[in-house]
Structure 1
Amino acid sequence: MEPEVVTFTIPVESNKIVFVWNITAQLPEAYIYCSLQNVFSQFGPLYSMKLLPNASVAEPGYYAVIKYFSSQSAKSAQATCDKKNLFQDTPVKVQMCVKQKGFPYKSLELYSHKCQELANYYLGFNGWSKRIIALQNISGLDDDSEEESEKHQTKLRYLCVVEVTIPQHGVSSRGVGVAEARIEKPNDPLELISKSGKAQKYCEQRAVSNAFQKILLVVFDGGKVAVEYVPCEDDTVDCLTEEELQGLIQVNDFTWTPLDPGDEDEEDWAELTFHEDSLVDL
């Protein structure tokens, strides 16, 4: 088997997707979902799994769409599980996706918690580490005071630099994340504390994702994994010293990311560790 390159991006290739149907409606939906998760996660890490009811014109039941990070995982799942009973009295059908509508992007950034799950699977929980090099409040660095006064809002902006290290392979990668939150009630300390914490959390998550984008996992037959570092064009973050990173902030080089309430439960902010020099007073 040829080695496969696994990237820390959202998988969009059709050969990483399997369909499962002929799932009986006699079992509870929650039981079916957990059973599918247990069976198909044995072949490799899953990016996503959706359990959907059959169309109204078909017999009552369900079908599932399962997306892997690895095409080899999808192939193994299909070959092993097709026409097997698995968790029910009747066999299910498992087939590879034949065709999928293409995406207009070369790659889609993977959320930080998914990056960490993927790294844990292939490298082990102790096979990699992350640390925050810089976490800074950079609010007010651009000239938008007139816009803020018109809207009676204050922009709260944070920048974070994170380093991901894989010591066994001698690989280190730095990532940058920025986030913006709008304070609607500047005189409300509770809103300021809440929005500050969320903005810090979100920019750290974006920095972790950005760092993993430059890492490639080369998976060989038998489970052996090699790691390659592929920097982006004009990427100077990995070349600078930590002192230079602390003092050099080029706001115009980054795309601001508004705070997304949907990602609030992605990671626990309390578990983050900081260098003393990068702590931010809220």
Structure 2
Amino acid sequence: MVQLVPFAVPIEGDKTLLVWELSSGPTPEALHLKHSLFTVFSQFGLLYSVRLFPNAAVGGPGSSAIIKFYSARDAHRAQKPCDQKQLFHTSPVKVRLGTRHTAVHHKMLAVNNSRCQELANYIFVFHEWSKRIIKLQDLSNLEERENEDIVTPLQKQSLKFFCALEVGLPSHECRSPWVGMAEESLDKLVEESGKTAVAYRPCEDVTDARTEEEVQDLIQVS
């Protein structure tokens, strides 16, 4: 069966597993427990996160966990085989699917670049997909550039970049273009001394862009 896996932070209840009746002690033991949870549940699919929480005082010693999958199908596949099983414990743990949120529409948040590549490698298999930056352009304060008489206060200035790229599946002769825009207020980059030191370092490899003109004007502000 075909499933839709968006490149976004999973917030749906059917992609979330709740695990409780876990035992945990000091911090090193808690880190070991988190690693054990990741090892067990990642066998069913790619995980977005594993978060560990100590029980409330009224709940007694121990902890619980929230495990998020990118795929609802993977979360369902993991729930029954792990519920009421000892896993890596001496006693069984409880595993339940999170509550579905159907009435409330949450804003979808895109995952960062490294997680996008991790998810693409998992779905398409490493080396069987490719990406190519078509255009990377600095759009910061274009209105002020056109009218040099207007000086924008530092607090209102921002860094804005446009990027167009192409994702391809060579073995299927399939290519898909994508565009995106990122903006960051400049005041967040002001140091305590009052001086501003901004350096844009592209996180993508732009050597395969179509022309040098398409990737010029990257900023170096000090």
TM-score by length of 1: 0.63
Q: Which consecutive unaligned segments of at least 5 residues does structure 1 have?
A: 202-268
Q: CA deviation at 1:190?
A: 8.0
Rounded to whole Å, the distance in 2 between the matches of 1:3 and 1:152 is 48
Rounded to whole Å, the distance in 2 between the matches of 1:146 and 1:34 is 58
Aligned partner of 1:191 among 182, 194, 197? 197
Note the 1:162-173 alignment, pairs <5 A. 162-173=165-176
Distance change >3 Å, CA 145–CA 179, structure 1 → 2: farther
Read off the aligned partner of 1:16 and give its amino acid letter. Answer: K
* 8 Å Cα contact 1:20/1:92 also seen in 2: yes
Q: CA deviation at 1:105?
A: 4.1
Output one character per residue of 1:95-138: Cα deviation in whole Å (capped at 9) or x when no partner: 12244475424744333322222111111111211111111223
Q: CA deviation at 1:51?
A: 0.8
Is 1:272 matched with 2:205?
yes
Distance change >3 Å, CA 107–CA 171, structure 1 → 2: farther
Output one character per residue of 1:123-182: Cα deviation in whole Å (capped at 9) or x when no partner: 111121111111122334224867744447754432221111122233222222223442
Q: Which deviates more, 128-137 or 18-27?
A: 18-27
Q: How many equivalent residue pairs? A: 206
Q: CA deviation at 1:34?
A: 0.6
* 8 Å Cα contact 2:141/2:157 also seen in 1: no
Rounded to whole Å, the distance in 1 between the matches of 2:96 and 2:5 is 22
Read off the aligned partner of 1:13 and give its amino acid letter. Answer: E
* 8 Å Cα contact 2:8/2:109 also seen in 1: yes
Q: SS state of the match for residue 37, structure 2? A: helix
Output one character per residue of 1:25-80: Cα deviation in whole Å (capped at 9) or x when no partner: 24711000111011101100112221111111011111011111222211221111
Rounded to whole Å, the distance in 2 between the matches of 1:149 and 1:177 is 25
Task: Give the corresponding residue for 2:18.
Answer: 19
Read off the aligned partner of 1:280 and give its amino acid letter. Answer: Q
Q: SS state of the match for residue 51, structure 1? A: strand
Distance change >3 Å, CA 77–CA 142, structure 1 → 2: same
Aligned residues: CA RMSD: 3.0
Rounded to whole Å, the distance in 1 between the matches of 2:21 and 2:103 is 27
- Percent sequence identity is 36
